[in-house]
Amino acid sequence: MSQADNQGGQGKPAATPDLKHLSLLWALPEHAAEISRLHAGSFDEGWDAGAVTRLLLNPGSVAMVASAGVPPVIGAFILAQVAADEAEILTVAVDPVWRRHGVAARLVEGVKRGAARGGAQALFLEVATGNAAAIALYRKAGFVESGRRKDYYAHPDGTREDALIMRCALKSS
């Protein structure tokens, strides 16, 4: 995310909010623009607000945002889908100034609970093999490698990267 993408409404760099008072909320369609902004700042090909809204309106959607500050600011999100007895994390992103504060871990745990309540017995995800921080986060959350997708991710420079498929067994609620 560039400096310009990470600025508040007054053109000042965003400050790290007091994350001791972090709230995890179910993501709603009215959060789509903020989710889209965070996604675009974290991935080579960001999702627009329309695509995010469609995902949020899907009956199998399990999605959360992390909010902090006064007025509340959304600084992270996670989107997942439940289908039958399986769920998949589609994407997760955390604003750079919110990283390294356990926000993503809390979102992953929230989605694990939500997916289990939705009937999922296992939660899957794909992660780039070069994303060591995310792989460590998922391993700590109980995910194990269950496969690999060769050349799954395409980068702007034309290179390709494998994806690890990771799985976490969920406890029934």
Distance CA 163, CA 127 (A): 5
Give me the catalytic one of 34, 86, 109, 138.
138
Q: What are phi and psi of 73, to 5 degrees?
A: -125, 135
- Whole-angstrom Cα distance, residue 169 to residue 62? 17
Say how far apart CA 40 and CA 34 lie, in whole Å: 10
- Is 152 a residue of the active site? no
Q: Which of 30, 34, 86, 126 is catalytic?
A: 126
Q: Which residue has the tokens 């609970």?
A: 113
138 is catalytic: yes
Strands (E) across 43-85 are located at 61-68, 73-83
- Hey, which residues are catalytic here? 126, 138
